[in-house]
Amino acid sequence: MIMWRAEDAKEFSDQLSDRVADAWRYSKDEGIWLAKRVPYGLKKDPKTRKLLPDNTPAIPGQPDGPTKADVIRRIFREVGGGVTVPVVVARLHEHGILPRPGYQWSPQGLYKILRHPAYIGLQPASDWDDREDPVYRTDKGQRVSVGKGVVTEAQQLKARKVVAERTALFGQKGTKKGIRSVGRHELSGMMFCTGCGRTLIKRGNSYECPHKFHGGKPCASPASIMAKHAHHFVFQAFVNRLTGSAPDDPLLHAVAARWLDTHRPDSVAERREVEERVQTIAEAWEKATVEERRELLSLALDGVCVRKAFGKGRTPVTPDRFHYAWTGINRVLEQGALALTA
The pLDDT profile of the chain, 342 residues, written as one tens digit per residue, is: 777 777 766 666 666 565 655 677 788 888 889 888 899 999 999 999 999 999 999 998 888 889 999 999 999 999 988 888 999 999 999 989 999 888 899 988 999 999 999 999 999 987 787 777 788 888 777 888 899 999 988 888 888 888 887 764 433 344 444 433 445 677 877 888 888 888 888 888 888 888 765 556 778 888 888 988 988 888 888 878 777 777 677 776 667 666 655 555 444 445 555 555 555 666 666 777 777 777 778 777 778 888 888 766 667 788 888 888 776 444 333 333 333 433
pLDDT of residue 125: 86
pLDDT of residue 43: 94
The secondary element (H helix, E strand) that includes residue 329 is strand 329-331
Superfamily of domain 35-170: Putative Large Serine Recombinase; Chain B, Domain 2 (3.90.1750.20)
pLDDT of residue 328: 46
Q: Render the burial of 136-159: b for 16+ CB within 10 Å, e for the rest.
A: bbbeebbbbbbbebbbbbbbbbbb
- Domains of the chain: which residue ranges? 35-170, 183-341
Contacts of residue 119, Cβ cutoff 8 Å, sequence gap at least 6: 39, 41, 42, 72, 76, 113, 149, 150, 151, 156
pLDDT of residue 105: 92
CB 208 within 8 A of CB 224: yes
pLDDT of residue 339: 37
Chain Cα centroid distance, residue 89: 25
Contacts of residue 254, Cβ cutoff 8 Å, sequence gap at least 6: 299, 300, 327
pLDDT of residue 187: 84
